Structure 1
Amino acid sequence: MASKLISPMLSINLIFRSCSTGNGIKCFGFTYYPRFPDHKDPPYEPAKLFRVQRVKPVKGNPYWEKNILKMLGLIGKSSDIAIVKNIPENNARLWKIKHLVKITPITFPYGPPTEEDIGSTYLKENGELIVARKVKLDGSRLKASEEFENDQTKLDGETLRKDSRLKWLRAW
């Protein structure tokens, strides 16, 4: 039991030791101190867009937070949802109002939309942008369908119903 209580402190001490020795990895705007020296992060593709939804009321917040919400389009006659680009300027704004909004990365499970797909997309609450592609007609399939409908040897529905009824009534 005592070893479980001490182990978090040991890991914190190791992290502080690596911070004080300067073994950090310099990144844009911060220094990253990995737990283990040979630690490699898995490859990750960041989302290009965010779905930002206001979840707290605007009333009672300072004017600078209200200004950021207004810039993002989360205050006013429009809805409480905005689509925001994943760029450093917007990320800094979102960081300042993170307690007022819910941020969900937008993914494209069926590929990104094209100019033709503008009216046929749907953004789900979990951040999936569903693109309903238009069905393309194939001339050969259309011709085969017409031939099947106009075939004289094919039995139509009315004939099948009559034949089935007669077989039911006179089974022997």
Structure 2
Amino acid sequence: MAKVIRNQWVYKKTGHWYRYLPRRNDASKEFDYEKHMAGPEHFPEKMEDKPPKLWLIWIYRNYSKDPVHIKKKVEKLFGKDAEPGKMFIFKNTASQNIELWPLKHIIEVRALSFPNGEPTIDDVNALEVFPDGRCVVDKHLACEPSQLSVLDPRKQMSNSYLCSRLRSRYNKCQDVFETNVYTPKNVTLIE
């Protein structure tokens, strides 16, 4: 007589498994911050000063091993070519903060301040943003947009290509020492 397979959870030692039984879904699921009251509005430490108008944000660690929903949020906010260290500026609004909240373990957030006063439309080409959150208007940095030449990233040399070229050039060179018998007679070493 055949054994009756019941539709229930069966936990066995490693190596034992049964077909046709429902499997547990152990994939990490997106955390519902609203349901658990863990969003930015429920954060216990509020800012003491006046809230800034803009945030300076960058990704500070690799997110390739994070779940798919985190990768989708990073792609939505920072674009497909998001990489650690690239700085972005976001508005400090409630909706934007809710979007950024699930990424708080990946990103660094700083308040953007303007020590020289807020820039005008004429100062756009003369702005310099520092990693500490200062945005300085420096007239010496101003340049004409027609003078700028934008490089195509597909035509630039990759890091691996440059490393391989430099390594091959380094390996081709012979060391020049005074005691080396292969050093040409007309080469003198200056210290």
TM (norm. structure 2) is: 0.45
Residue 49 (structure 2) aligns with = 44
Gaps of 5+ in 2: 1-39, 141-191
Residue 76 (structure 1) aligns with = 81
Aligned counterpart in structure 2 of residue 114 of structure 1, from 120, 124, 149: 120
Cα distance change, pair 50–42 in 1 and its aligned pair in 2 (3 A): closer
CA separation in 1, counterparts of 2:104 and 2:41? 19
The RMSD of aligned alpha carbons is 2.9
Residue 64 (structure 1) aligns with = 69
Cα distance change, pair 103–89 in 1 and its aligned pair in 2 (3 A): same
More helix by share: 1
Cα distance change, pair 74–101 in 1 and its aligned pair in 2 (3 A): farther
Amino acid aligned to 2:127: T
Amino acid aligned to 2:115: P
Say yes or no: does 1:124 pair with 2:130.
Answer: yes
More strand by share: 1
Q: Is residue 115–residue 134 contact of structure 2 (8 Å, CA) maintained in 1? A: yes
CA separation in 1, counterparts of 2:90 and 2:43? 27
Once the two structures are aligned, what percentage of the paired residues are identical?
22
Q: Is residue 50–residue 86 contact of structure 1 (8 Å, CA) maintained in 2? A: yes
4+ long deviations beyond 2 Å: 28-32, 41-44, 77-80
Gaps of 5+ in 1: 1-27, 33-40, 135-172
Deviation at 1:30, TM superposition (A): 5.0
Residue 18 (structure 2) aligns with = none
Deviation at 1:75, TM superposition (A): 4.2
Deviation at 1:73, TM superposition (A): 1.5
CA separation in 1, counterparts of 2:52 and 2:87? 17
Deviation at 1:44, TM superposition (A): 2.6
Cα distance change, pair 31–93 in 1 and its aligned pair in 2 (3 A): closer
Q: Is residue 75–residue 82 contact of structure 2 (8 Å, CA) maintained in 1? A: no
CA separation in 1, counterparts of 2:100 and 2:128? 24
Aligned length: 99
Q: Is residue 74–residue 82 contact of structure 1 (8 Å, CA) maintained in 2? A: no
Deviation at 1:80, TM superposition (A): 2.3
